[in-house]
């Protein structure tokens, strides 16, 4: 299922087993452990997961919504950037997003604008 909140797509902390699907979590790329913020802060470890392992913070908005190469967080930052810096100010908008260049921002906006159904199409 593509619904990230479907039972089969839920994420649980590998230490305390808390459902962390909708929460910021820590992913250990070395042992593939998903860790809730509390267990990470407590320095929990096992034979397979050590606190010295590298890690990635997974923001609860760090998943695609409209297209596969833009996260929800980036979508929101794009809209916020347009509101803050003005439509068409792609250099400042892309700097605001931090992960996309100005061409990517403009192309993404144009694609969504011209491929989204209008209210009268509903």
Average pLDDT over residues 15-22: 91
Q: Give the model's pLDDT for residue 86.
A: 96
Q: Give the model's pLDDT for residue 110.
A: 92
Average pLDDT over residues 77-87: 94
Q: Give the model's pLDDT for residue 37.
A: 93
Structure tokens of 13? Answer: 């902390």
Q: Band the pLDDT of 7: cuts 50, 70, 90.
A: low
Percentage of the chain surpassing pLDDT 70? 88
Q: Give the model's pLDDT for residue 122.
A: 47
- When comparing pLDDT for 53 and 5, which is higher? 53
Q: Give the model's pLDDT for residue 4.
A: 52
* b (16+ CB within 10 A) / e for 51-73: eeeeeeebeeeeeeeeeeebbeb
Q: List the one residue out of 33, 56, 27, 29 whose CA is nearest residue 46.
A: 33
Average pLDDT over residues 30-50: 93
């Amino acid at each position: 299922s593509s619904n990230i909140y479907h039972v089969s797509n839920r994420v649980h902390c590998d230490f305390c087993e808390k459902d962390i699907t909708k929460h910021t979590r820590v992913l250990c790329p070395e042992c593939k452990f998903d860790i809730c913020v509390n267990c990470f802060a407590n320095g929990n470890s096992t034979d397979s997961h050590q606190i010295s392992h590298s890690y990635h913070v997974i923001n609860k908005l760090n998943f695609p919504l409209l297209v596969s190469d833009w996260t929800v967080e980036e979508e929101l930052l794009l809209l916020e950037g347009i509101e803050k810096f003005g439509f068409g100010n792609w250099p400042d908008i892309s700097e605001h997003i931090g992960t996309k260049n100005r061409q990517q921002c403009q192309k993404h906006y144009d694609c969504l604008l011209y491929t989204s159904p209008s209210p009268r199409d509903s």
